[in-house]
Chain A
Amino acid sequence: MDKAKNNIENVGVFTTDKALKILSWNAVMEEMTGLSEKDVQNKSILSLFPEIEERNLHKKFENVINNGDVEILSSVLHKYLIKIPFPEEILGHQYMLQSVSIAPLFDESKIVGTIVTVKDVTKSRLNELINSYRERERKEKALSKAEVDELLKKLDHYDWKERKKAVETLKQSSSDILEDILVRIKQHHKNLNILNSAIQVLVGHREKIFDTLSHLLKSSDKDLRIYAAQTLGESKDMRAVPVLIEALDDPDKNVVYHAIESLGKLKAYEAVPRLIEIVLQNDFFTSFAAIDSLRNMGEKILLIHLDKLIENEFLQPICIEVIGEFGYDVNIPTLIEILKLNPETVFDLAEAIIKMMERYEKHYKEGNFIISSANKLLDTHTRQILINNLSKKNHPKFRYLVQLLTLLADQDELIHVFNLLKEPDLAKIILSNFIKRENKSAKLLIINLDKVTYEIKIELIKALGILVDKEAISVLLSFLDNEEEEILLASLYSLAMIGSAEAYEKIFSLLGHSSNAIRRAAIFALNSIGSPKMEDDILRLLFSENNFELDSAIRIAGYFGYPKCKDRIIELCDSENVKIRSLAIENICFFEAAHILSILDKASNDPSAECRIAAAKALAFVPENMSFKLAQKLLNDENSWVRINAIRTIGIQRFQNACKLILNFLEHEETVPVIITAIKVLPEICSEEAIPKLIELIKHENEDIVFATIETLSKIKHPSSLQALVENIYSPNPKIRKAILEALKSLKSENMVEIIKSYILSEEDLELKKLAVEVLANFQTESSCVSLFEISSERELKEFVIESLARQDKKLLHVFREILKGNKSELKISAIEALTLMKTEAATGLIIDSLDDESPMVRLYALNALRILNFHKAVDKIHYLAMNDVNPEVKILAEDLLKKIHGF
């Protein structure tokens, strides 16, 4: 070939004969590889570049030679043909990216070899990336003065779509338009369109506009002050807090209202004392906003003041909501008090109690305690209010009332609730809560079976099983004659749950049912009921000519390992029916038979893949020394599911040398699910020797493989596997970040604390942030606990971090003690809130200690916490505070608590 000709466009070209020995090799190839034509001539391409075969790319050559096809390898999919490493990784690529074509080389009409072109496309791929970046930059900066003017004019367009378009473009432009925007606000602030659009643009440039807005907050024009207060709340800029607190003294109520709202959005804890003051002024307009803001902050101190507000009819609903969201059982009397004052609040009350119950269940597993507390406090009059409201089905919170009554009604009251079973949506709520009651019987459900829709009837039948009430057996048995599959299934399930022996014969007769689902449900029921005669019955069934019966009988015989059935199962391993044969093979391992291995060996040559899969599965339960070779053989089966099951068996058996075997296997396996199975089995059979391969696989282009690798790395508990995970924690792909965090949850490593902490601070996705907090909380070490306290000041995470702190081990309580001794009130309050959730005696002791704290806020929190804890040990201290505290709020709350003590 003419070398000069081949150099066109810098394409590497080489030719091979049919044995893949190199015939020619152009200069570009020489340059790319550093190998001269002389070096390579007459050598096989496969021996020069062994990874071609490892990556199965030699099959492409074979296809070209055998079929005359042209094969194309793309730089996106295959990356490269000839592995040429870069001096350093470039944009995630270690090797030159190539676009390759392999075409047949003809001599007249005969194929004599291949002609291969290799084009280095790394540069063009890089250029693509760089160009897209530049394009983005260009878009950001390219607005000309004229364009900006045009867009600013559009802020006053009559069509909101046009305004929106302009706003969006201006948001993306550079920030030197801010001045123009401000001028426009000054000129046109009476025009709401311009004002709104302009403010949106300003918010888009939020870093630059804080000064402007705080200036506007002092303008003489109240509209401007309102908009400034509102916008600062949206800005997420904490510098706004002091100016907004100042605005709480604004002469205009609307400005105050928006300042309150914005402080709530910013979760400005510094503003809490002022907001509480506003709450207590009892002016509906501002009190309501202040309560709402404090609620947004999760500010539990609000609870102390609710009793003073409940007489204000307009504030009642929001007070009830606050109690529901973070109140304690001690607040239930307040709820009932409001109900007596205003029966209209019945639905809000129901919602609050249900939410409180869910919260208690989540934190303390004490949901029932809330229900029984409420039950004790409701008198005949208030109970009647609840029942009477069962007629108001269209109320948006009706479901809470139904839920509450289902949980706490007595038997007579329950009849009113059960009348609602006709309504499908309510019926589901009623049933799911009814089974949670302490006092429940099947009778009420049975009499309603004919009064409900078909779908609810099925739910009722299942609920009968969950109640495990023998009274239900006869009605369930009668349903076994029903023609509807779903009713039959539900009845079988419930009979299994109740474990009724009298159902045995009838269920047994269903083992030959034509529906797979019903047969499986019957097997499930029989396995749970059992019967002394079942072994003989099953043996008889194993000779049935009905394949459905046979199928069921093999499954049950295998489940119990009935010795009498062994010989027949062995016979069935030769059945002509593939389904029966494979099922028998899969179950044979549950019997003690000397020649199991020869049966499985034979099965490994079965023409049906189903039988070979069964053999691979069964092998997991055959004594180890006998089965290794067979497992190796099945590992090379042509069917991927046989290979998958062979790998799993190797994992269960943990054969000697299994690690090496699977690592080698991974070098040439190409089917994704098989690769994944092999990766997942590694922790069972390997220790750190698997890590280099896993580090390679974590960069794999297939996400499923990457996820499996991450999971496996977390299971091989070794410093370098940990490091491999941590190195990828900043992956641009959030799914990978999530998978890594999930994996790290199971690990504890002291030196990861700082890494996770800084990750939490830099991650933008709130869900991932929370996941990382969980990781940190799981470490349960001194430094992780301290770090949790440090991030508890992250406003959006506060609630979640406190819950995590509450789950810290009791051996870490000294960290809490240190925090409470420190000088940061905010951290101390977090500690008290977490200790309150812990509810242990030692935790309560720490809270009692902080009654002496110098900050009145901390003392208030501690007192409030004691309202739901055992505070008898603190009586003297509380007494002291009630008499002497300089802070009036602390005094009042202490007096309240004392009243409660005297009540005892």
Chain B
Amino acid sequence: MDFKTTLQIYGINTSNFTLIRDLIHSRSGIYFEDGKLDILAEKVSQRLVENNLTNFLDYYYKLKYDNDYQEWLELIKLITINETYFYREFDHIKLLVEHIIPEYFKSNNFIPLKIWSAACSTREEPLSIAMAINEKNLFEKYPIKIFASDINSDNVEHAKKGVFRERSFRVLPLDLKEKYFTPVDKNYKISNDLLERVEFFIKNLFEFDKYDFLYMSDVIFIRNALIYFSDQSIIKLINYLYDKMPENSYLIIGVSESLLKYKTKFELIEINNTFVYKKVRRQ
């Protein structure tokens, strides 16, 4: 739902919304561009309703001056909710198939490229990666391995069945939906060929010893998950990744996330308007 509709339903006054956007930005580093304000407003308005408020300004004051840590947590949870769907933030995946994979195989013909989708929730991400690779016929050309993990065993079980609800298809082009999925009741089941392309693990990102080979992947996706960790944990994680990942490997985080404040050794690079972190050989 767009926010104007939501606000009309809730009877919420729309003015002063950007104050909340800026407050969220200054406190959490998460920034919603003007084009995405609708999405943010829609989510924030849910918190207004829960708090029995009818204008954003009151909610802004509540966040800024009430020292209500619980409310802040609820809001952050809501705006970062791991709503995964196929082809979410597709630019990264596009970059993978159009740039990173061809680049890798310029110098490696036999060593498989390893891709790890960490904190993948219900698996739409690794399966989108597999789908995009298959669409470019790259599985036939090159040895590519896709690993996926999540801490939540429910998610892993859910994913192993390969059955998805309609909302997972939020932006997936219809022809791909028809090509890779078959309707089962009100849901859709993914083709086994694609499901078998991805190897699933139950894993906590911070249990470094468990399945440690994952940290040595050539491309690691950790998108929209960092928000759940403290600054200290993030620093620990990215430093560990930097040590373990091979040279010229890529770390890909969500479009609204940034590692800049952690002074990482990864280099932020831009390819075709998409930003990724690369472990570059030091001179």
Question: Residues on A close to B: CB < 8 A?
Answer: 422-424, 451-455, 458, 462, 483-484, 486-487, 489-490, 492-493, 516-517, 520-521, 524, 582, 610, 613, 640-641, 644, 671-673, 676, 704
Contact = CB atoms under 8 A, between A and B. Distances in A.
A130 B271 CA distance: 47
Interface of B: 1-2, 5-6, 8-10, 46, 49-50, 52, 58, 61-62, 64-66, 165-167, 169-175, 177, 186
Given A453-B174, A462-B2, A517-B49, A524 B8 contact: yes
B166 A673 contact: no
17 contacts: A422-B174, A453-B171, A454-B169, A458-B1, A484-B165, A493-B9, A516-B49, A516-B50, A517-B46, A520-B9, A520-B49, A524-B8, A671-B65, A672-B61, A672-B65, A673-B61, A673-B66
A453 B172 contact: yes
Among A453, A582, A640, A641, the one with the most B-chain Cβ atoms within 10 Å of its Cβ is: A453
Given A517-B49, A673-B58, 12 more contacts: A422-B173, A422-B174, A451-B174, A453-B169, A453-B170, A454-B170, A483-B166, A484-B165, A492-B9, A521-B9, A673-B61, A673-B65
Contacts of B65: 671-673
Top 9 A-B residue pairs of the complex, sorted by shortest distance between their CB atoms:
A673-B61, A524-B9, A455-B170, A454-B170, A454-B169, A672-B65, A521-B9, A489-B1, A493-B5
Given A453-B174, A454-B170, A455-B170, A676 B61 contact: yes
Provide the main secondary structure of the chain B interface.
Answer: helix
A521 B64 CA distance: 29
A27 B60 CA distance: 48
A451 B8 CA distance: 28
A429 to B, nearest CB: 14
Contacts of A490: 1, 5
A490 B6 CA distance: 9
Contacts of A516: 46, 49-50
Provide the main secondary structure of the chain A interface.
Answer: helix
B155 to A, nearest CB: 19
Contacts of B50: 516
Nearest to A496: B9
A487 B166 CA distance: 10
Among B50, B167, B175, the one with the most A-chain Cβ atoms within 10 Å of its Cβ is: B167
B18 to A, nearest CB: 12
Among A462, A641, A672, the one with the most B-chain Cβ atoms within 10 Å of its Cβ is: A641
Contacts of A520: 9-10, 49
B171 A483 contact: no
A613 B53 CA distance: 11
Contacts of A704: 61, 64
A282 B147 CA distance: 63
Contacts of B171: 424, 453-455
A673 B62 contact: yes
A454 B167 contact: yes
B150 to A, nearest CB: 23
Contacts of A517: 6, 9, 46, 49
Nearest to B53: A641
Contacts of B170: 453-455
Contact of A486 (B1, B58, B175): B1
Contacts of B62: 641, 673
A516 B2 CA distance: 17
A483 B186 contact: yes
A489 B5 CA distance: 9
Contact of B166 (A423, A484, A676): A484
B55 to A, nearest CB: 11
A517 B66 CA distance: 25
Contacts of A492: 9
A613 B166 CA distance: 41
A481 to B, nearest CB: 10
A490 B61 CA distance: 30
A861 to B, nearest CB: 37
Nearest to A671: B65
Contacts of A454: 166-167, 169-171
Nearest to B167: A484
A676 B16 CA distance: 15
A354 B9 CA distance: 32
A490 B10 CA distance: 13
A704 B172 CA distance: 44
A477 B9 CA distance: 18
B8 A483 contact: no
A489 B1 CA distance: 7
Nearest to A702: B65
B61 A453 contact: no
A552 B104 CA distance: 59
Contacts of A640: 66
A689 to B, nearest CB: 26
A582 B51 CA distance: 12
A507 to B, nearest CB: 13
A323 B172 CA distance: 39
B263 to A, nearest CB: 20
A704 B1 CA distance: 31
A453 B170 CA distance: 6
A161 B76 CA distance: 40
Nearest to A494: B5
Contacts of A484: 165-167
Contacts of B49: 516-517, 520
Contacts of B6: 489, 517
Contacts of B9: 489, 492-493, 517, 520-521, 524
Contacts of B174: 422, 451-453
Among A454, A641, A673, the one with the most B-chain Cβ atoms within 10 Å of its Cβ is: A454
Contacts of B166: 454, 483-484, 487
Contacts of A483: 165-166, 186
Contacts of B8: 493, 524
A516 B172 CA distance: 28
B15 to A, nearest CB: 12
Nearest to B1: A489
Among B1, B62, B169, B174, the one with the most A-chain Cβ atoms within 10 Å of its Cβ is: B1
B273 to A, nearest CB: 13
B224 to A, nearest CB: 18
Contacts of B167: 454, 484, 486
Contacts of A582: 52
Contacts of A455: 170-171
A490 B64 CA distance: 32
B119 to A, nearest CB: 23
A493 B10 CA distance: 11
A520 B8 CA distance: 10
